[in-house]
Structure 1
């Protein structure tokens, strides 16, 4: 699933190293940005959205518990958040399921500020966008806002296999572990921990890896905590050990909006802030059996 390599590329998942500290966007010249072209007249303003009575929100497809289709109906945390945003603006939320590209940069281009080359169009909002100041400095046509949660890497494991002590990554040099193919966890265990080929079990999705864990095919699964919790069966525990050598094991989730529509960005951020303050967002997470991990705003 390409959305997690996107995060690797965007945030520089690597061995930790000392680096100078800069103010936001200090030292980022315009010519170093991924795109700094003249803004196109694209998308819809807040006034137009209110007048039309609907807003289109892009979410990733086939991405439980965040967003997926069940019997033709959009489901998931991000889908419910999109509807909450629509209610806060007084309009209908129309859900657009989109494919994840190889890079987050590509997703922003396709769904936020330009549209795909063939038959593409932008949406008014794009949810589940990792928020990072340094990454945001590389864009001048995208506003990153609406911080609503954090996501953490974690390890799910069978209690029967580890009755005395929860496993740490070093265990997986010898114990079988499941990961989603081509993900941060795959990269980390292969490159930094040195898990051998016969101990690494790669699956097309974390849901598949969790099913294998429940069946006893592996002793543990490493991946984003929300997906592990959503797929956990009886007898499965989840914890967050230190991931030594990994620069980032947690990231902030927000949304992306075209920079032409900053009033929309401000209004949506206010809706999310209110939903966090009164507990509505936390209740959405609880409905899907997922821990709400608050993020600094």
Structure 2
């Protein structure tokens, strides 16, 4: 039976990475507390009065900052939370970070200088953005327009990321490590969409559009300005080729190769993610746009 005194707090515990980490920890009989605005003990990055309650009886924390470590104010929030966590007895921090973002590295330094055990997970763009996130609705509609040049990205399967996070949280030997997590190969967004289309038997058109056209479309959909600013930064600054390299972070942490993008596609097809329903409507077609490329 897991003991409450060793609770693990998973911030963003209902998000793409957090929900998977929570389930794995539960399966391992680790006492888990979900950090979410809608949890029994609510947590909100924008409301520091919610921080102390979720930290009670917590030994380890998985930190996933919403919406991204590159946004203004992220460093201060990470610093304030980290200091409070250590003050309240937290002994271990595992933080989700991004590749190629100087702002994210500033946040990493805060965690690394916390005085407790730490592990940094620098993730490339998620495979699941095509199946669970902001690209799902355009894929189902058969038309994906992005302001991205022919830059290769080593998309990481979130299941791999969750495996690494849980390993770092529950097994020795990962303290003081920075794991850069990538997939097995580089794919442009156009190539990734093409692979999905062929495997799913769908017609999906991909078009590279100017950033002005893309942001205007997001505005039309009612996406908040701060989310549009983040996507503009990621597509125009970070997607400049700086991350077009493969790493062995998954293998270093887990002793196995990362999941190939083709395997992710086949898993998604098996789940019916991109399938049409018997009535002709497409699964997930009514979902609202989500702008969480690395959460």
TM-score tier by shorter-chain length is: 0.3 to 0.5
> Larger relative contact order (C-alpha < 8 A, sep ≥ 6)?
1
Q: Comparing both structures, which one devotes a greater share of its residues to helix?
A: 2
Q: Comparing both structures, which one devotes a greater share of its residues to strand?
A: 1
